[in-house]
């Protein structure tokens, strides 16, 4: 079992074993591996992940929950939800925001469920109104700094369906400038200019 946290485009694996996914990173000179559980070790890993020369991190510990709890204390946790929307033609919905192709998502409102948040954010960011939630796909984590605080964003991703014959309206206040339906055979255009977490969502959905 492992948890993957992105520092920009760089993955940090919190793991209890070196799995097939992690193995290729373990032998790279530009990867950091720590297997001693301590506050100093955690601080060191977070520091290393912010260095330009480091491209991946592996923190090995036999108790994932203990490791996760210790890492989470170093950040302010922000929860969000979004989704991969597919229409009756099998096309996938992408938004273009701040120079990258993305999937619609946004922060959880107080008292809101993650499922309701995913549907609401998709409706607000794309203009789609008829949206049906199917199932949870995956949860991703990434970090960023805001107003001097270290933020860890936890995003729950869902699979949804929507009829294609609906108006698409980019939510410009969220810096969304384009919305496109993409055929599965044309995904290269989108995955070549997106975030690693979005590629993880697509892979989980079978693309």
pLDDT digits (tens, 9 = 90+) for 131-185: 999 999 999 999 998 888 899 999 999 999 999 999 999 999 999 999 999 999 9
The angle, 0 to 180 degrees and rounded to 10, between the axes of the packed helices 64-72 and 39-49 is 70
Q: Give the model's pLDDT for residue 146.
A: 87
Q: Give the model's pLDDT for residue 147.
A: 85
pLDDT digits (tens, 9 = 90+) for 105-132: 999 999 999 999 999 999 999 999 999 9
Percent of the chain with pLDDT over 70: 100
Close Cβ partners of 138 (under 8 Å, ≥ 6 residues apart)? 157, 200, 201, 204
Q: Give the model's pLDDT for residue 115.
A: 97
**Residue 158, CA atoms < 13 Å, CB-side half-sphere:** 23
pLDDT band at 28, cuts 50/70/90?
Answer: confident
* Element containing residue 29 per DSSP (H, E): none
pLDDT band at 29, cuts 50/70/90?
Answer: confident
For every residue of 141-207, DSSP letters joined together read EEEEEETTEEEEEEEEEEEEE--SSS-----GGGTEEEEEEE-GGGTHHHHTTS-HHHHHHHHHTT-
Contact 19, 61 (CB under 8 A): no
Q: Give the model's pLDDT for residue 40.
A: 94
Q: What is the mean pLDDT of residues 38-63?
A: 95
Q: What is the mean pLDDT of residues 75-90?
A: 97
Domain architecture of the chain: domains with CATH: 2-72 (no CATH), 76-204 (3.90.79.10)
Average pLDDT of the chain, as a whole number: 95
Residue 26 reports pLDDT greater than 90: no
Percent of the chain with pLDDT over 90: 93
Q: Give the model's pLDDT for residue 1.
A: 83
Residue 27 reports pLDDT greater than 90: no
Neighbours of 148 (CB within 10 A): 5
Q: Give the model's pLDDT for residue 153.
A: 97
């Amino acid at each position: 079992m492992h948890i993957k946290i992105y520092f920009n485009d760089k993955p940090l694996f919190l793991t209890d074993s070196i799995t097939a996914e992690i193995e290729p990173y373990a032998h790279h000179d530009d990867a950091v591996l720590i297997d001693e559980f301590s506050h100093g070790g955690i601080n060191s890993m977070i520091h290393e992940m912010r260095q330009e020369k480091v491209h991946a991190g592996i923190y090995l510990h036999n108790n994932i929950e203990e490791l996760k709890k210790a890492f989470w204390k170093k950040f302010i946790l922000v929860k969000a939800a979004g989704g991969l929307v597919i229409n009756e033609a099998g096309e996938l919905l992408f938004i273009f925001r701040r120079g990258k192709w993305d999937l619609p998502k946004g922060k959880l409102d107080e008292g809101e469920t993650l499922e309701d948040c995913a549907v609401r954010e998709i409706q607000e960011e794309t203009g789609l109104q008829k949206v049906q939630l199917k199932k949870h796909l995956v949860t991703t984590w990434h970090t960023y700094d805001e107003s001097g605080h270290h933020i860890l964003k936890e995003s729950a991703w869902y699979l949804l369906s929507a009829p294609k014959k609906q108006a698409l309206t980019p939510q410009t206040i969220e810096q969304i400038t384009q919305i496109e339906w993409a055929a599965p055979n044309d995904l290269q255009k989108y995955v070549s200019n997106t975030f690693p977490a979005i590629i993880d969502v697509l892979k989980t959905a079978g693309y």
